[in-house]
Structure 1
Amino acid sequence: MKKIRYQIGLSALVFLLVSIAGFAQTKSAKIDALVQQYVANRQFNGSVLVAEKGQVIFKKGYGMANMEWNIPNAPDTKFRLGSITKQFTAMLIMQLVEKGKLKLTGKITDYLPDYPKATGDKITIHHLLTHTSGIPNYTNFPKFFETQSREPVTPESFIKTFSNMPLDFEPGTKFSYSNSGYFLLGTIIEKVTEKSYAEVLNENILKPAQMINTGYDLFGPIIPKRAAGYEKKGNAYVNAPYLDMSIPYAAGSMYSTVEDLYRWDQILYTDKLLSASGKAAMYTPFIDGYAYGWGVGKAKIGQLKDSLLVIEHSGGINGFNTIISRLPKDKQLVVLLNNTGGAPLGDMRKNIMRILYDQSVEAPKKPIADLLRQSVLNDPLEKTKQKFSAWKADKTYAVDENEINALGYELMREDKDKEALVVFNLNADAFPESYNVYDSRGELYKNMGNKVAAIQDYKKSVALNPRNTNGFLMLKELGETVEVPKQEGVVVDKATLESYVGEYQLAPSFSIVITREGDKLYGQATGQSRFELFPESKTKFYLKVVDAQVTFSSNDKGEVEQLTLHQNGQNMPGKRLR
């Protein structure tokens, strides 16, 4: 089951570019026209700021900061940032390192003596910063948001909810996004400085950067121009569920404006907060393109010959999603802050970057969730199926697995299980290779008391994705004894890995280049960061940066001639070019 969490928005793979005609000539006008299309599709409600070569060329608010009082969004509206907070936490850590109060090689137990030694003695500050600690992510705990997220906590007491849990893997060996790690970093900051996280943040970053409209977002204080958070419910919006902000803490507790994030961007080009060498360390990716609080990688923009370095991070928190993207070579900046949750900010950012570099953009597609909801509540089943097939065939509509999945859960929360089942069935039919569609439908069957169907779907889910921990937990709860397979035992010899090296074209302007380093295989898609491929078998590999798999195929002579990308329920073949 996928839920809105505070998590890094690592770029998904994009395949088709469609030009939009009719924009005005200036870049600011083009950006406004583009964003207006997302607004018209009910895909964006928030504020935008774009800087070119260090200078702001566009800033504007869209929709409402407060729908109950009809207060519009503006460039100085304050939004919750979610995981963009992590880059500020990383900066505070690096400042303490430069002052000699912390060491990147220091262990958790060096600073938090009460932390369990079995794991705390081998997890370093570096591991926490790079999401390679192996500590389970607390926002992934079953029913966390329903049962724990509303109650205020102290950092010391909350750490106990995950500190004694076994590690998911040996520290430093894998990337696995963990809010728990950044929660610990906040606690370490407080321990070392003997001040609250909010105080240290204000003194060491916000004041020097003159970010007067940024801070720690607590429920109690009156904060002028603070946006309310909303979520879609059918054709309308509802207030987002309450979340006590002591829960996200140093992993996602901040609020800011697009204007203040521009000030943050600008001060990062100086040495006022951190030395040049400190920033170089902060921007150096460790595993899967993640550095210290930032995702770092090369991106291809439109038809530009050379890929450009992008430093970025996204965030998602109840009722909000956000992104900040920096291209340091040309001092380009895109900041998107949204207060209706679930906006396609990654696609918006890519399109705005294309405008900055005079490239064609991808036409925003209309979402179908509202239409599907209306149909499933009012039309006969066969009529809904016919409409769904028509939407899938119409290239102006976006048939998105996650969006359909979210609608199913929305109907479940409204006790419309019959209608939810129709939606989950349609999603499974549309994306039959996605483990998540079966995990979600399994949960519905479980809630409906259909144990046999629930077990069947959960088994299908874990078969498609042996790393679906939730699926195994649910099977165990349903009385099924299914052992979690150990994928780490799969070893592919170097000669076989070398045979996969080459370029595979999946579309005229989109390829995946496969390389090998020792006994590891890597892929890099056009305009994307390099990612490691992990073997499930001798011919099939999986990615960790996104939910996707890659299969290599050979001809009758044993020559590798094709790569197939399995993602979002689709199988996309790519012919080997070299």
Structure 2
Amino acid sequence: MKINIGITFLAFLTTFNLGAQPVQTSQHIAVDQQIIKFMKLWNITGGAVAITKDGKTIYNKGFGYSDQNKTKKAKADDLYRIASVSKPITSIGIMKLLENGQLSLTDKVFGKGNILDQPYYLQVITDHRIYDITIQHLLEHTGGWDRNVPYGDYSHSDPAFFPLLVTSTLSEPNPVGDSTLIKFMLKKGLDNNPGANYSYSNVGYLVLGKVIEKITGMKYAAYIEKAVLKPAGIINIQLGKNLLASRHIRETEYSSTSTTLSCYGDGTRVPWQYGGFNIEAMNAHGGWIASASDLTKLLLSVDGLATSPDILNGTTIKAMTAPGNVNKGYAKGWCVNSKNTWWHTGSMDGTSSFVCRTTDGYTWAFLFNSRGTNSDTFWQEFDRLPWNCLKTMSTAVA
């Protein structure tokens, strides 16, 4: 069964050389052609794709170029920003705390005697509904914030994408920090009662990152490395940096035509993907970089199947992937369906990502260093791409 996001698949275009690595089988060549065609259609410079079946890698390749001047061929192990594919990573970290008895889904987050009781947060709260927000609400995007509600001159209310307004409103330094983004939304108040409505919330996952820090006494990234990545045998997933000059030596370059004022507050205009937003403050909701193969390794570590060892027990995995109380299509850091397939996508200027685990033993990670300008059509096509690649490999897909 395909993920239903209203999909239409285009016929094959003439293939072209984007620097795909050599392959050994006709099925793999056909998969190469589909990926290359998609990249050409959406003017994507580079990408990486990894696919596993029953715990074994059956496809792992880089496509195109890792630099915007098209001088360096992309490699399979290049690192990419993964945007909201970071949310499953945070969810796994939270679920590990639940499994260890350090946290429960019903624990309240804000207020005296609750998890985040620091004056820095509490001093700005005037909407007392905030004190009812629980861990489960944050995991399932039912905390009460609705980013589709306009704020000021903006058509949305996601503070990660108007960082200068956040810092000026709160008289905080630039670039904006993760705690400042949370403080801004606490001061703003809620749009709905906690638990009443589903509304995808980046700030909710930032809060979960702070919950991890408070419970463990560790920095968010250090805890994730210790509790999630190392047990899964992963060493290369790490938090990304804002600027082109600061990127990891194996990290791709990102492409976008949009510019904005720098989040550093110096008045310069910059590409959105390099200093327009502060990705270093997006850590727990969208800040990680990874290779495609490391992401499939992460999926295998929590897939609940017998073909590979898991870092969470079966009960915890079932709780993590159980349909949410409000939106049955979203669990706790994962989109889910009735076929027991789990997935997540990620999107920001210069980035598009898609990971999935199917009930019949497939995992995949598709990572690209740009995204299409026609958002709806692009994501419809992107959603279709992995499934058609599997069909091309003559495999039965649930």
Q: Judge same fold: TM > 0.5, yes or no.
A: yes
1:335 aligned to which of 365, 370, 382: 365
1:273 aligned to which of 303, 311, 314: 311
Structure 1 residue 170: Cα displacement: 1.5
**1:18–1:69: structure 2 CA closer, same or farther, 3 Å change rule?**
closer
Mapped partners of 2:69, 2:12: distance in 1: 34
- Contact 2:206 2:284 survives alignment (8 Å): yes
**Which AA in structure 2 matches 1:73?**
A
Structure 1 residue 99: Cα displacement: 1.6
Mapped partners of 1:76, 1:188: distance in 2: 32
Mapping of residues 54-65 of structure 1, within 5 Å: 54-65=55-66
**Which AA in structure 1 matches 2:340?**
L
Mapped partners of 2:130, 2:229: distance in 1: 31
Match of 2:330 in 1: 290
Give deviations 1:396-429, integer Å, cap 9, x for gaps. Answer: xxxxxxxxxxxxxxxxxxxxxxxxxxxxxxxxxx
- Contact 1:80 1:317 survives alignment (8 Å): no
Mapped partners of 2:347, 2:14: distance in 1: 33
Structure 1 residue 241: Cα displacement: 4.1
**1:98–1:124: structure 2 CA closer, same or farther, 3 Å change rule?**
same
Match of 1:12 in 2: 5
**Which AA in structure 1 matches 2:72?**
I
- Contact 2:27 2:393 survives alignment (8 Å): no
How many residues align structurally?
Answer: 338
Match of 2:76 in 1: 75
Unpaired stretches in structure 1, ≥5 consecutive residues: 1-9, 299-307, 361-526, 529-578
- Contact 2:5 2:383 survives alignment (8 Å): no
Match of 1:130 in 2: 140
1:113 aligned to which of 114, 117, 129: 117
Superposed CA RMSD: 3.1
Residues 1:97 and 2:130 are matched in the alignment: no
- Contact 1:52 1:356 survives alignment (8 Å): no
Structure 1 residue 156: Cα displacement: 3.1
Mapped partners of 1:51, 1:272: distance in 2: 15
Structure 1 residue 240: Cα displacement: 3.3
User: Who wins on radius of gyration, i.e. which is larger?
Assistant: 1
**Which AA in structure 1 matches 2:63?**
Y
- Contact 1:65 1:71 survives alignment (8 Å): yes
* Runs ≥4 residues deviating over 6 A: 21-25
**1:100–1:324: structure 2 CA closer, same or farther, 3 Å change rule?**
same
Mapping of residues 318-467 of structure 1, within 5 Å: 318-327=349-358, 329-342=359-372, 344=378, 346-357=380-391
Select the structure that is richer in strand.
1
Mapped partners of 1:90, 1:186: distance in 2: 9
- Contact 1:107 1:120 survives alignment (8 Å): no
**Which AA in structure 2 matches 1:227?**
T
**1:130–1:333: structure 2 CA closer, same or farther, 3 Å change rule?**
same
**Secondary structure of 1:162's partner?**
helix
Structure 1 residue 333: Cα displacement: 2.0
Give deviations 1:237-295, integer Å, cap 9, x for gaps. Answer: x7834232233121101000011112112212356421110000000111331101100
Mapping of residues 31-46 of structure 1, within 5 Å: 31-44=31-44, 45-46=46-47
Q: Percent identity?
A: 25
- Contact 1:295 1:311 survives alignment (8 Å): yes
**Which AA in structure 1 matches 2:388?**
R
Residues 1:66 and 2:97 are matched in the alignment: no
**Secondary structure of 2:251's partner?**
coil
Mapping of residues 143-542 of structure 1, within 5 Å: 143=154, 145=161, 147-148=163-164, 151-219=174-242, 223-232=248-257, 240-242=273-275, 243-269=277-303, 272-286=310-324, 287-288=326-327, 289-298=329-338, 308-327=339-358, 329-342=359-372, 344=378, 346-357=380-391
- Contact 1:132 1:174 survives alignment (8 Å): yes
Match of 2:29 in 1: 29
TM-score (norm 1): 0.53
